[in-house]
Amino acid sequence: MRIFINALSTTNESGRQVLCGLLVELLRATHAAHTLTILLHRDNADIADYLRSHADPEHTARMTFCKASGVTRHWLGRSVYESVRLPRLLERSGADIYLSPSGGWVSGLSCPQYTLALNPWAMVATGSRGVAENIKAWLQRRGYRQAIKRIDGIGYGSMHMRDLYRANAGGKQEKRSAIVYPALPSDELSAMDVLWRKDLPRDTHQILCVSHMAPHKDIETLLQALKLLRETYQVPATLRLVGRWSHIQYKRKIDMFVRELALGQAVTMDGFLSRHDLLHAYRHAKVYCLLSRSESFGIPSVEAQRLGTPVVAAHGSAASEVCGDGGMYVDAGDAEGAATCLARLLTDDDYWQNMSVAARKNAQRFEYAKTVRPLLALLGIERT
Protein backbone atom coordinates (compact mmCIF):
# COMPACT_ATOMS: atom_id res chain seq x y z
CA MET A 1 0.00 0.00 0.00
CA ARG A 2 1.30 3.44 -0.98
CA ILE A 3 0.52 6.13 1.60
CA PHE A 4 0.95 9.78 0.58
CA ILE A 5 1.67 12.11 3.51
CA ASN A 6 1.04 15.81 2.93
CA ALA A 7 3.22 17.45 5.60
CA LEU A 8 3.09 21.00 4.18
CA SER A 9 1.14 22.30 7.19
CA THR A 10 3.65 20.89 9.70
CA THR A 11 5.67 23.95 10.58
CA ASN A 12 6.05 24.13 14.38
CA GLU A 13 8.15 22.03 16.76
CA SER A 14 5.28 20.14 18.40
CA GLY A 15 3.69 19.35 15.03
CA ARG A 16 7.00 17.95 13.77
CA GLN A 17 7.40 15.81 16.87
CA VAL A 18 3.91 14.33 16.60
CA LEU A 19 4.01 13.63 12.86
CA CYS A 20 7.51 12.15 12.91
CA GLY A 21 6.74 10.00 15.94
CA LEU A 22 3.67 8.53 14.29
CA LEU A 23 5.40 7.92 10.95
CA VAL A 24 8.40 6.18 12.50
CA GLU A 25 6.08 3.90 14.45
CA LEU A 26 3.85 3.35 11.43
CA LEU A 27 6.87 1.99 9.55
CA ARG A 28 7.74 -0.28 12.45
CA ALA A 29 4.18 -1.58 12.72
CA THR A 30 3.64 -2.42 9.04
CA HIS A 31 5.25 -4.79 6.58
CA ALA A 32 7.58 -3.96 3.70
CA ALA A 33 4.82 -3.57 1.11
CA HIS A 34 3.67 -0.34 2.79
CA THR A 35 5.56 2.72 1.54
CA LEU A 36 5.39 6.41 2.42
CA THR A 37 5.69 9.39 0.08
CA ILE A 38 6.09 12.57 2.14
CA LEU A 39 5.47 16.05 0.71
CA LEU A 40 7.53 18.86 2.26
CA HIS A 41 8.60 22.43 1.51
CA ARG A 42 11.80 24.35 2.13
CA ASP A 43 11.00 25.39 5.70
CA ASN A 44 10.24 21.89 6.97
CA ALA A 45 12.62 19.85 4.80
CA ASP A 46 14.45 18.89 8.01
CA ILE A 47 11.60 16.43 8.65
CA ALA A 48 13.22 14.19 6.04
CA ASP A 49 16.54 14.25 7.92
CA TYR A 50 14.80 13.44 11.19
CA LEU A 51 12.89 10.51 9.72
CA ARG A 52 15.98 9.08 8.01
CA SER A 53 17.98 9.26 11.24
CA HIS A 54 15.25 7.94 13.57
CA ALA A 55 13.60 5.25 11.46
CA ASP A 56 15.03 1.76 11.68
CA PRO A 57 17.69 1.30 8.94
CA GLU A 58 15.66 -1.36 7.16
CA HIS A 59 12.70 1.03 6.93
CA THR A 60 14.39 4.05 5.34
CA ALA A 61 14.06 2.57 1.83
CA ARG A 62 10.28 2.63 2.28
CA MET A 63 10.24 6.43 2.41
CA THR A 64 10.47 8.84 -0.50
CA PHE A 65 10.30 12.63 -0.27
CA CYS A 66 9.10 15.28 -2.67
CA LYS A 67 9.33 19.04 -2.37
CA ALA A 68 6.62 21.60 -3.10
CA SER A 69 7.26 25.14 -4.29
CA GLY A 70 8.18 27.90 -1.88
CA VAL A 71 4.68 29.42 -1.86
CA THR A 72 3.45 26.49 0.23
CA ARG A 73 5.31 27.83 3.27
CA HIS A 74 2.36 30.21 3.73
CA TRP A 75 -1.13 28.93 4.48
CA LEU A 76 -2.70 30.76 1.52
CA GLY A 77 -0.10 29.41 -0.89
CA ARG A 78 -0.70 25.91 0.48
CA SER A 79 -4.42 26.23 -0.14
CA VAL A 80 -3.89 27.17 -3.78
CA TYR A 81 -1.26 24.47 -4.30
CA GLU A 82 -3.46 21.77 -2.79
CA SER A 83 -6.39 22.75 -4.99
CA VAL A 84 -4.43 23.04 -8.25
CA ARG A 85 -1.34 20.82 -8.09
CA LEU A 86 -1.93 18.19 -5.44
CA PRO A 87 -4.55 16.05 -7.27
CA ARG A 88 -2.19 15.51 -10.21
CA LEU A 89 0.75 14.83 -7.89
CA LEU A 90 -1.19 12.13 -6.08
CA GLU A 91 -2.30 10.55 -9.33
CA ARG A 92 1.29 10.38 -10.58
CA SER A 93 2.47 8.86 -7.29
CA GLY A 94 -0.08 6.05 -7.49
CA ALA A 95 -1.15 6.67 -3.89
CA ASP A 96 -3.64 4.30 -2.30
CA ILE A 97 -4.24 6.53 0.76
CA TYR A 98 -3.83 10.26 1.38
CA LEU A 99 -3.07 11.44 4.93
CA SER A 100 -2.56 14.99 6.13
CA PRO A 101 -2.00 16.43 9.63
CA SER A 102 -3.73 19.69 8.64
CA GLY A 103 -7.17 18.71 9.91
CA GLY A 104 -8.74 19.76 6.60
CA TRP A 105 -10.09 18.29 3.39
CA VAL A 106 -8.84 18.69 -0.19
CA SER A 107 -11.18 18.48 -3.18
CA GLY A 108 -10.44 16.49 -6.32
CA LEU A 109 -8.38 13.66 -4.83
CA SER A 110 -8.90 10.24 -6.37
CA CYS A 111 -7.90 8.06 -3.39
CA PRO A 112 -9.37 7.72 0.13
CA GLN A 113 -8.53 10.75 2.22
CA TYR A 114 -7.75 10.93 5.94
CA THR A 115 -6.60 13.70 8.22
CA LEU A 116 -5.23 14.23 11.72
CA ALA A 117 -6.97 16.99 13.70
CA LEU A 118 -4.40 18.37 16.15
CA ASN A 119 -4.70 22.16 16.20
CA PRO A 120 -7.61 23.97 17.96
CA TRP A 121 -6.40 27.48 17.08
CA ALA A 122 -9.19 28.41 14.66
CA MET A 123 -11.98 27.20 16.93
CA VAL A 124 -11.08 28.82 20.24
CA ALA A 125 -10.53 32.39 21.37
CA THR A 126 -6.80 32.72 22.02
CA GLY A 127 -6.49 36.49 22.17
CA SER A 128 -6.98 39.35 19.74
CA ARG A 129 -6.46 38.61 16.04
CA GLY A 130 -5.78 40.88 13.12
CA VAL A 131 -7.76 40.92 9.90
CA ALA A 132 -5.53 38.36 8.16
CA GLU A 133 -5.68 35.96 11.11
CA ASN A 134 -9.47 36.27 11.33
CA ILE A 135 -9.75 35.40 7.64
CA LYS A 136 -7.41 32.43 8.11
CA ALA A 137 -9.41 31.20 11.13
CA TRP A 138 -12.70 31.50 9.21
CA LEU A 139 -11.30 29.56 6.26
CA GLN A 140 -9.92 26.88 8.54
CA ARG A 141 -13.23 26.46 10.36
CA ARG A 142 -14.94 26.16 6.98
CA GLY A 143 -12.40 23.56 5.90
CA TYR A 144 -12.95 21.59 9.11
CA ARG A 145 -16.69 21.53 8.47
CA GLN A 146 -16.05 20.18 4.98
CA ALA A 147 -13.76 17.53 6.45
CA ILE A 148 -16.50 16.35 8.82
CA LYS A 149 -18.91 15.94 5.87
CA ARG A 150 -16.62 14.63 3.13
CA ILE A 151 -13.44 13.01 4.37
CA ASP A 152 -13.09 9.24 4.79
CA GLY A 153 -11.77 9.43 8.33
CA ILE A 154 -10.40 11.80 10.99
CA GLY A 155 -7.85 10.98 13.66
CA TYR A 156 -8.37 13.38 16.55
CA GLY A 157 -5.48 14.28 18.84
CA SER A 158 -7.82 14.14 21.83
CA MET A 159 -11.49 13.80 22.68
CA HIS A 160 -11.39 17.53 23.31
CA MET A 161 -10.39 18.08 19.67
CA ARG A 162 -13.18 15.77 18.49
CA ASP A 163 -15.73 17.77 20.48
CA LEU A 164 -14.45 21.06 19.03
CA TYR A 165 -14.72 19.72 15.47
CA ARG A 166 -18.22 18.42 15.96
CA ALA A 167 -19.38 21.63 17.61
CA ASN A 168 -17.87 23.63 14.73
CA ALA A 169 -19.88 21.44 12.33
CA GLY A 170 -23.14 22.06 14.18
CA GLY A 171 -23.15 18.64 15.84
CA LYS A 172 -22.51 16.65 12.67
CA GLN A 173 -20.23 13.60 12.93
CA GLU A 174 -17.58 12.28 10.59
CA LYS A 175 -17.85 9.00 8.64
CA ARG A 176 -15.11 7.35 10.67
CA SER A 177 -12.91 8.58 13.48
CA ALA A 178 -10.35 7.53 16.04
CA ILE A 179 -8.54 9.18 18.94
CA VAL A 180 -4.88 9.26 17.91
CA TYR A 181 -3.03 10.73 20.84
CA PRO A 182 0.40 12.30 20.43
CA ALA A 183 3.06 10.55 22.50
CA LEU A 184 6.59 10.78 23.79
CA PRO A 185 9.51 10.19 21.39
CA SER A 186 10.12 6.44 21.30
CA ASP A 187 13.90 6.80 21.28
CA GLU A 188 13.80 8.85 24.50
CA LEU A 189 11.64 6.60 26.67
CA SER A 190 14.49 4.54 28.08
CA ALA A 191 16.62 7.63 28.76
CA MET A 192 13.70 9.33 30.53
CA ASP A 193 13.11 6.26 32.69
CA VAL A 194 16.81 6.05 33.60
CA LEU A 195 16.81 9.73 34.53
CA TRP A 196 13.69 9.26 36.66
CA ARG A 197 15.31 6.41 38.60
CA LYS A 198 18.46 8.39 39.38
CA ASP A 199 18.77 9.62 42.93
CA LEU A 200 18.70 13.29 41.97
CA PRO A 201 17.44 16.02 44.31
CA ARG A 202 14.42 18.07 43.42
CA ASP A 203 14.06 21.75 44.12
CA THR A 204 11.40 21.40 46.80
CA HIS A 205 9.77 24.73 45.95
CA GLN A 206 10.22 25.01 42.19
CA ILE A 207 7.27 25.19 39.78
CA LEU A 208 8.13 24.55 36.12
CA CYS A 209 6.15 25.77 33.12
CA VAL A 210 7.22 24.69 29.62
CA SER A 211 5.36 26.09 26.65
CA HIS A 212 5.39 28.22 23.55
CA MET A 213 4.55 31.34 25.55
CA ALA A 214 1.47 32.96 24.02
CA PRO A 215 -1.41 34.97 25.54
CA HIS A 216 -3.77 31.97 25.71
CA LYS A 217 -1.24 30.15 27.92
CA ASP A 218 -2.34 32.58 30.66
CA ILE A 219 0.99 33.09 32.38
CA GLU A 220 -0.66 35.99 34.21
CA THR A 221 -2.82 33.66 36.31
CA LEU A 222 0.19 31.49 37.12
CA LEU A 223 2.07 34.56 38.35
CA GLN A 224 -0.89 35.58 40.50
CA ALA A 225 -0.95 32.07 41.98
CA LEU A 226 2.78 32.35 42.71
CA LYS A 227 2.18 35.64 44.53
CA LEU A 228 -0.52 34.00 46.67
CA LEU A 229 1.74 31.06 47.42
CA ARG A 230 4.49 33.29 48.72
CA GLU A 231 2.36 35.77 50.65
CA THR A 232 -0.82 33.95 51.76
CA TYR A 233 0.52 30.39 52.09
CA GLN A 234 4.03 31.45 53.14
CA VAL A 235 5.57 28.95 50.71
CA PRO A 236 8.85 30.26 49.22
CA ALA A 237 7.89 28.99 45.77
CA THR A 238 9.81 29.87 42.62
CA LEU A 239 8.72 29.68 38.99
CA ARG A 240 10.81 28.68 35.99
CA LEU A 241 9.36 29.57 32.58
CA VAL A 242 10.88 27.62 29.68
CA GLY A 243 10.07 28.21 26.03
CA ARG A 244 10.07 30.71 23.23
CA TRP A 245 7.68 33.68 23.25
CA SER A 246 5.12 34.06 20.49
CA HIS A 247 5.43 37.85 20.45
CA ILE A 248 7.91 40.22 22.04
CA GLN A 249 4.94 42.32 23.17
CA TYR A 250 3.62 39.48 25.29
CA LYS A 251 7.00 38.92 26.92
CA ARG A 252 7.21 42.62 27.73
CA LYS A 253 3.75 42.43 29.27
CA ILE A 254 4.79 39.49 31.46
CA ASP A 255 8.06 41.22 32.43
CA MET A 256 6.06 44.23 33.58
CA PHE A 257 3.58 42.06 35.48
CA VAL A 258 6.44 40.29 37.28
CA ARG A 259 7.73 43.68 38.41
CA GLU A 260 4.26 44.84 39.49
CA LEU A 261 3.87 41.74 41.64
CA ALA A 262 7.40 42.14 43.05
CA LEU A 263 8.31 38.62 41.92
CA GLY A 264 11.58 39.45 40.24
CA GLN A 265 13.62 37.23 42.60
CA ALA A 266 11.15 34.32 42.28
CA VAL A 267 10.81 34.04 38.49
CA THR A 268 13.37 32.91 35.94
CA MET A 269 12.78 32.85 32.18
CA ASP A 270 14.65 30.51 29.88
CA GLY A 271 14.18 30.33 26.16
CA PHE A 272 14.76 27.19 24.14
CA LEU A 273 16.53 24.35 25.97
CA SER A 274 18.27 21.32 24.50
CA ARG A 275 16.44 18.02 25.04
CA HIS A 276 19.05 17.02 27.63
CA ASP A 277 18.54 20.21 29.62
CA LEU A 278 14.78 20.13 29.23
CA LEU A 279 14.47 16.57 30.56
CA HIS A 280 16.64 17.50 33.53
CA ALA A 281 14.43 20.55 34.12
CA TYR A 282 11.37 18.28 34.36
CA ARG A 283 13.24 15.96 36.74
CA HIS A 284 14.49 18.81 38.91
CA ALA A 285 11.16 20.61 39.44
CA LYS A 286 8.68 19.65 42.16
CA VAL A 287 5.56 20.55 40.16
CA TYR A 288 4.70 21.27 36.54
CA CYS A 289 2.02 23.92 36.01
CA LEU A 290 0.40 25.30 32.87
CA LEU A 291 -2.96 27.04 33.20
CA SER A 292 -3.55 27.36 29.45
CA ARG A 293 -7.02 28.18 28.17
CA SER A 294 -6.49 26.13 24.99
CA GLU A 295 -4.56 22.86 24.73
CA SER A 296 -5.35 20.18 22.15
CA PHE A 297 -3.07 17.75 24.01
CA GLY A 298 -0.09 19.13 25.95
CA ILE A 299 3.10 17.15 25.31
CA PRO A 300 5.21 18.96 27.98
CA SER A 301 2.73 17.91 30.68
CA VAL A 302 3.17 14.25 29.74
CA GLU A 303 6.95 14.64 29.53
CA ALA A 304 6.93 16.03 33.06
CA GLN A 305 4.75 13.16 34.25
CA ARG A 306 7.05 10.54 32.73
CA LEU A 307 9.74 11.96 34.99
CA GLY A 308 7.48 11.72 38.02
CA THR A 309 6.50 15.38 38.21
CA PRO A 310 2.83 16.01 39.06
CA VAL A 311 0.83 18.55 37.06
CA VAL A 312 -1.50 21.44 37.88
CA ALA A 313 -3.59 22.53 34.89
CA ALA A 314 -6.81 24.29 33.90
CA HIS A 315 -10.12 22.74 32.93
CA GLY A 316 -11.64 23.61 29.55
CA SER A 317 -9.11 21.96 27.26
CA ALA A 318 -7.56 18.50 26.91
CA ALA A 319 -5.50 18.81 30.10
CA SER A 320 -7.63 16.71 32.45
CA GLU A 321 -8.25 14.10 29.72
CA VAL A 322 -4.52 13.76 29.08
CA CYS A 323 -2.99 14.17 32.54
CA GLY A 324 -5.57 12.00 34.32
CA ASP A 325 -4.94 11.04 37.93
CA GLY A 326 -1.46 12.52 37.79
CA GLY A 327 -2.80 16.07 37.80
CA MET A 328 -4.84 18.58 39.78
CA TYR A 329 -7.25 20.89 37.95
CA VAL A 330 -8.80 24.30 38.45
CA ASP A 331 -11.04 26.55 36.40
CA ALA A 332 -9.28 28.72 33.84
CA GLY A 333 -8.27 32.03 35.39
CA ASP A 334 -8.61 30.75 38.99
CA ALA A 335 -5.40 31.93 40.65
CA GLU A 336 -6.62 31.10 44.16
CA GLY A 337 -7.53 27.55 43.18
CA ALA A 338 -4.17 27.08 41.48
CA ALA A 339 -2.35 28.40 44.55
CA THR A 340 -4.22 25.93 46.77
CA CYS A 341 -3.26 22.98 44.54
CA LEU A 342 0.34 24.09 44.25
CA ALA A 343 0.65 24.68 47.99
CA ARG A 344 -0.47 21.13 48.74
CA LEU A 345 1.97 19.59 46.25
CA LEU A 346 4.83 21.73 47.52
CA THR A 347 4.25 21.11 51.23
CA ASP A 348 2.59 17.70 51.65
CA ASP A 349 5.30 15.13 50.92
CA ASP A 350 3.03 12.07 51.19
CA TYR A 351 0.49 13.58 48.83
CA TRP A 352 3.23 14.60 46.39
CA GLN A 353 4.64 11.07 46.41
CA ASN A 354 1.24 9.56 45.60
CA MET A 355 0.71 12.08 42.82
CA SER A 356 4.19 11.43 41.43
CA VAL A 357 3.44 7.69 41.17
CA ALA A 358 0.09 8.47 39.50
CA ALA A 359 1.80 10.86 37.07
CA ARG A 360 4.33 8.21 35.99
CA LYS A 361 1.60 5.61 35.51
CA ASN A 362 -0.54 7.98 33.48
CA ALA A 363 2.31 9.06 31.19
CA GLN A 364 2.97 5.46 30.20
CA ARG A 365 -0.26 5.54 28.17
CA PHE A 366 1.42 7.85 25.69
CA GLU A 367 3.95 5.79 23.77
CA TYR A 368 3.79 5.78 19.97
CA ALA A 369 3.81 1.97 19.88
CA LYS A 370 0.42 2.25 21.61
CA THR A 371 -1.05 5.41 20.11
CA VAL A 372 -0.33 4.40 16.50
CA ARG A 373 -2.76 1.47 16.78
CA PRO A 374 -5.95 3.57 16.40
CA LEU A 375 -4.39 5.27 13.35
CA LEU A 376 -3.67 1.92 11.71
CA ALA A 377 -7.24 0.81 12.39
CA LEU A 378 -8.59 4.06 10.94
CA LEU A 379 -6.54 3.60 7.76
CA GLY A 380 -7.52 -0.06 7.50
CA ILE A 381 -3.92 -1.28 7.81
CA GLU A 382 -3.15 -4.51 9.61
CA ARG A 383 -0.38 -4.39 12.22
CA THR A 384 2.46 -6.84 11.67
Q: What is the pLDDT of residues 210-231, one digit of tens each?
A: 999 999 999 999 999 999 999 9
Domains of the chain in start order, with CATH, are: 2-183+367-379 (3.40.50.2000), 186-363 (3.40.50.2000)
Mean pLDDT over residues 236-254, rounded? 95
Confidence band, pLDDT 50/70/90 cuts, at residue 63: very high
Percent pLDDT > 70 in the chain is: 99
Residue 249 has pLDDT above 70, yes or no: yes
Residue 127 has pLDDT above 70, yes or no: no
> What is the gyration radius of the CA atoms in the chain, in angstroms?
21
pLDDT tens digits, 342-365: 999 999 999 999 999 999 999 999
Inter-axis angle of helices 299-306 and 349-363, nearest 10? 120
Other C-beta atoms lying within 10 Å of the C-beta of residue 196? 18
Contact 286, 345 (CB under 8 A): yes
pTM to 2 decimal places: 0.94
Q: What is the pLDDT of residue 128?
A: 67
d(CA 190, CA 234): 38
pLDDT tens digits, 47-57: 999 999 999 99
Contact 301, 361 (CB under 8 A): no
Residue 129 has pLDDT above 80, yes or no: no
- Which amino acid belongs to residue 16? R
Residues linked to residue 208 through DSSP beta bridges, in sequence order: 240, 288
Confidence band, pLDDT 50/70/90 cuts, at residue 376: very high
Residue 126 has pLDDT above 80, yes or no: no
Q: What is the pLDDT of residue 89?
A: 95
Residue 167 has pLDDT above 80, yes or no: yes
Q: What is the pLDDT of residue 130?
A: 80
Mean pLDDT over residues 121-138, rounded? 82
Q: What is the pLDDT of residue 244?
A: 93
Residue 124 has pLDDT above 90, yes or no: no
Q: What is the pLDDT of residue 316?
A: 86
Cα-flanking dihedrals φ and ψ of residue 140, to 5°?
-65, -45
Question: What does pLDDT average to over the chain?
Answer: 95
Residues linked to residue 327 through DSSP beta bridges, in sequence order: 311
Q: What is the pLDDT of residue 14?
A: 87
Q: Sort strands 238-242 and 153-156 into parallel, antiparallel or unpaired.
A: unpaired
pLDDT tens digits, 1-27: 999 999 999 998 889 999 999 999 999
